Structure 1
């Protein structure tokens, strides 16, 4: 009964408004966050042995009955499936692994930072950890004899050489280690499967295991700008929310892994490191990460939409990719609201991306080459968006009005919007086209004439117009 009352109190507490954003006091982190907000566009890579089956990453071994946790083939007993799934680690052999190819495609697309899955919830390590044999460099893994077997290291180095900042995705829960899912008990859901108060030593070993793996990444893998922690159900009881409570089928436990200690250690090796303890609102969530969605309005804190380029986070044969037009529109919408866009791809079991991924990134890059000025180094400016026109602002006061073109839509003869008016002597021009534009105000709107030469240029996806200065509104 006492436990029930405690949970009731916790649930009532979680019903209240979410905990506020907590600014990071470290000046070096503040500076890095400001730089990160200039980068705007990044690449997320989900990759692991699960790509051999083309199934969703990790989740099919979670004993929850959700749409994304279904096992294939349907009806296979859980422990039979788990055994086969964990054996995938040994047969993993991505012989076409070429991170320079990925990095070039990302750089050509205009991506400025990378977040790579060093370990997902299934516990399989894509780096040469000393804490477990469940890793890509273990002697019994097919790829371990390859000179590039330490995959995370190779990826980080390739992307940094391409001028892209490196970030490490790391799952806090680990469904392979005995310190989180103890084989003495069956797992019930995504959470730790033993009572932490009854077995505190086991939990302390898990905390040590987690700390040691993160320290390996922070010490031995070169310059890292972001530590992107996933698995937000691993959190202190004091940080529970209505959402996080819904992730537990049993009484929530105090899954505190000591983030102050982890962050302090990480920044001792990587000064200014951005720490993203996803969905755990507090000092160690330096920016927030709405997943697969774009907020309706600007947010008052640093944020990043993480979204799949196709439908799945991880590799699925014949996955359907979003059009370049949709991705450009998402990027413009996100940036106009003050956010960053982290776009995910999933390499296949051989180490290559879908051809569609390369084609899509090429199309994005062609647009960014002409219009990146309206994206990078900008901040939100009210009214953010008016109809099909989004706005961004440079730190020098110049503003960009970005008109979103529908698929196959030709440039109109005029573009109009409310909320921003160029100053009398402002220079108004289309990015990628020479010459000043003629504009006027009419009925409270700014109306810009688009010359026939621009209309006939075949510009696609979105038209960016630079306005050197605007009147204050």
Structure 2
């Protein structure tokens, strides 16, 4: 067996075993402060985005070839596992060399977009470049891209263009994920030095020319995305450790990652100004760097404990990893729907992560799961899309939202998976207006209801209460007062 195949097998085993650990260490935590944008066009776009509620984030890159966790395996931090018989430099070379094998001849963005639409999703965030620096678009700033390897002669070699086009045709808002750190760039990880951790590996204060080159390189690549790929609604910036030193606070220190003594400022005001000139109203999401360029917050792999009044989004994986890994275990449709309901009631949006295989197609299990999710969402979406928060947003297994004008209230009952539905559902607060109807959205039928001592009781028809497979029941009514 060739050495390259031995490395691949070892990495596959380690990658599969350690993906959960990596999810814990690689997550971005949530900012605790928020600054509302002042630009009227950004405010307008933000309001439109808050109407969408449900999106898809796609991680696709070199890591799909061996089927391992995205990028992180080449980072030299003590939580990352690698085969101890392989030197770090040899491992990085092996990883970079995946570019020679990445030839997704079945690349089918239309399949992805249709699967997302079937699930009831309304916006997309696509990884144009992850931390490993491999561009999924035809950048002129680097030869390290999908458009320069074995896929170069394919008509769809400029992958991001075709992904964005396919999702636009299905009516999605378009988001470009872009990693601020670039571990392949000599302007970030300079081969003169070892790569100690996720940060740039040289003292910027002693090498200002090199950092200025990195800033220009970053500006230019984002400029390509903003000018050459049609309408873009969201610039979703990952890698929050690349930030002005002045913004490093106790929240950032609590991540546990090393913090260098120098400033990793890439001049976000200049980047945002250029990007918004090309894309008026663009939402800039500079994750965890609270201030004017974090237009909404992005808690990762978790839902905030309480309702938040400012715009936010929970980004979570459908399976156990962001990208494709073999034999991944996917969340049930009920789990995703219950999370979507909770997130919506707390004022956020759900960005669900999926990863295509190396050949450019979704695993069949992903397509099936998205279809299952859509069966509920596309019927009951009235209680999700375009809604806003209510003061009393939760009682037991029931969550509440309301229409933007406040004239309609929604209650969504989420039973424990597999439990038999009760004959009566009750909640406190969110009282329907006297003399009006409570309608079960799934059937359009009016439910019998009554109020006793401030508690609302909804009587379920026998045909409904006998259904043990119901994922959630959504009701609409005019609120009292």
TM-score (norm 1): 0.93
- Distance between the aligned counterparts of 2:444 and 2:206, measured in 1? 72
Q: Select the residue among 155, 164, 181 that pairs with 2:189.
A: 181
Hey, what does 2:265 align to over in structure 1? 256
Q: Select the residue among 422, 428, 442 that pairs with 1:418.
A: 428
Hey, what does 2:81 align to over in structure 1? 70
Q: 1:75 offset after TM fit, Å? A: 3.7
The Cα offsets for residues 228-250 of structure 1, whole Å up to 9 and x where unpaired, read as 00000000011102242345435
Closer/same/farther in 2, CA of residues 430 and 345 from structure 1, 3 Å limit: same
* Residue 134 of structure 2 is aligned to residue 127 of structure 1: no
Structure 2 counterpart SS, 1:117 = strand
The Cα offsets for residues 305-336 of structure 1, whole Å up to 9 and x where unpaired, read as 00000000111001000000100100000001
Closer/same/farther in 2, CA of residues 250 and 450 from structure 1, 3 Å limit: closer
> What is the aligned-residue RMSD (CA, Å)?
1.5
* Residue 462 of structure 2 is aligned to residue 449 of structure 1: no
The Cα offsets for residues 82-127 of structure 1, whole Å up to 9 and x where unpaired, read as 0110011121011111000110010011000000000000000000
Q: Select the residue among 362, 367, 375 that pairs with 1:358.
A: 367
Q: 1:184 offset after TM fit, Å? A: 0.8
Hey, what does 1:155 align to over in structure 2? 163
- Distance between the aligned counterparts of 1:214 and 1:419, measured in 2? 48
Structure 1 counterpart SS, 2:445 = coil
Q: 1:448 offset after TM fit, Å? A: 1.1
Hey, what does 2:198 align to over in structure 1? 190
Hey, what does 1:21 align to over in structure 2? 34
Hey, what does 1:9 align to over in structure 2? none
Q: Select the residue among 45, 48, 71 that pairs with 1:35.
A: 48
Range that drifts further, 271-280 or 410-419: 410-419
- Distance between the aligned counterparts of 1:405 and 1:211, measured in 2? 48
Contact 2:110 2:166 in 1 (8 A): yes
Consecutive unaligned residues in structure 2, runs of 5 or more: 1-29
Hey, what does 2:408 align to over in structure 1? 398
Q: Select the residue among 449, 454, 475 that pairs with 1:439.
A: 449
Q: 1:286 offset after TM fit, Å? A: 0.2
Structure 1 counterpart SS, 2:476 = strand
Consecutive unaligned residues in structure 1, runs of 5 or more: 1-16
Structure 2 counterpart SS, 1:121 = coil
Hey, what does 2:333 align to over in structure 1? 324
Hey, what does 2:313 align to over in structure 1? 304
Hey, what does 1:371 align to over in structure 2? 380
Q: How many residues are treated as equivalent by the alignment?
A: 450
Contact 2:182 2:188 in 1 (8 A): yes
Contact 1:136 1:144 in 2 (8 A): yes
Q: 1:410 offset after TM fit, Å? A: 3.0
Q: Select the residue among 268, 271, 275 that pairs with 1:266.
A: 275
Q: 1:385 offset after TM fit, Å? A: 0.7
- Distance between the aligned counterparts of 2:430 and 2:267, measured in 1? 47
Q: 1:352 offset after TM fit, Å? A: 1.5
Contact 1:90 1:142 in 2 (8 A): yes
